[in-house]
Structure 1
Amino acid sequence: MSITQAFTFEAAHHLPHVPETHRCRRLHGHSYRVELTLAGEVDPHTGFVVDFFDVEAVFAPVLAQLDHYLLNDISGLENPTAENIALWIFRKVSPDLPQLTAVKVFETPMCWAEYRA
């Protein structure tokens, strides 16, 4: 069984390793959406793979690091592509959510990156 919980945050970034003419080299912002997917057996007593409130509690401090910040200023996100953000989130969250199997980061409703363990 798998479950997914979504979160949103607002942040700015620029991509320092793209050509000067690339529009993402300039500072800009996104309304990001993050989806955390967890998988495992359903606990017969609770009926949960993981309680959504537990997922929210684990992710809350990570979300606070991202929301309304310049992502380039965050250690480990100096090149904050959607791919790097997804991997960064996975590394931050997975120690406390061992059932985490995927992190999906949407920069827009039409483009995203997904890291799968």
Structure 2
Amino acid sequence: MFQQNYPSVQHPYTFELNKDFNFSAAHYIPNEDAGKCMRTHGHTYFVNLTIVGDKLDHNGFLVNFSELKQLVHGQFDHYLLNDLPQFEGKSPSTEIVAQTIYEMVQTSLDQRSNQPKCVQVYVRETPTSYVVYRPKEQRNHE
């Protein structure tokens, strides 16, 4: 994976964890005004998750890095995103992919006793295009 600088998030937490990973998947945007994106095509998506918190678990982790990768990579790698239940009724644009990853990750984090929070999901679709998703409720912690 290439070295990447990501937009930073201001937050009041003691710890910040960042996890990079990628997955390969195909998608299409099912609207005529999407142009060429209306046709099925694939990407290698590069993802960075920013997780924050004040308390560590019994291993001294906010969350295990491998759990974060498996949570997303295991669900999306080598799939047609349009066929996945997470995108039912949604167009799997990069914005929606980032938001969906946030929802999956935060739902998992909510089960942890140390209550870490996902404050940013960065999804790069191509070398020149990326999306950053930040949940609104986290912006008020500045």
TM-score normalised by L of structure 2: 0.68
Q: How does 1:31-110 map to 2 (within 5 A)?
A: 31-41=44-54, 50-51=62-63, 54-77=64-87, 78-97=90-109, 98-110=116-128
Q: Using a 3 Å threshold, how does the CA distance of structure 1 residues 84 and 41 change in structure 2: closer, same or farther? A: same
Picking from 6, 9, 13, the partner of 2:23 is: 9
Does residue 23 of structure 1 match 2:74?
Answer: no
Cα RMSD (Å): 2.2
Gaps of 5+ in 1: none
Structure 2 CA distance, aligned partners of 1:6 and 1:110?
Answer: 18
Indicate the structure with greater strand content: 1
Q: Using a 3 Å threshold, how does the CA distance of structure 1 residues 95 and 76 change in structure 2: closer, same or farther? A: closer
The structural deviation recorded for 1:73 is 0.3
Q: Provide, for residues 26-71 of structure 1, a one-character-per-residue CA deviation record: whole Å limited to 9, x for no partner.
A: 111001011100123475xx775x25xx132144043112000000
Q: Which moved more, 1:65-74 or 1:94-103?
A: 94-103
Could you list the runs of 4 or more consecutive aligned residues of structure 1 that deviate by over 4 angstroms after TM superposition? Answer: none
8 Å contact from structure 1 (residues 59, 93) kept in 2:
no
Does residue 115 of structure 1 match 2:133?
Answer: yes
| SS state at 2:73 partner | helix
Q: Using a 3 Å threshold, how does the CA distance of structure 1 residues 62 and 40 change in structure 2: closer, same or farther? A: same
Q: Using a 3 Å threshold, how does the CA distance of structure 1 residues 66 and 58 change in structure 2: closer, same or farther? A: same
8 Å contact from structure 2 (residues 71, 105) kept in 1:
no
| SS state at 1:57 partner | helix
Q: Which moved more, 1:86-95 or 1:74-83?
A: 74-83
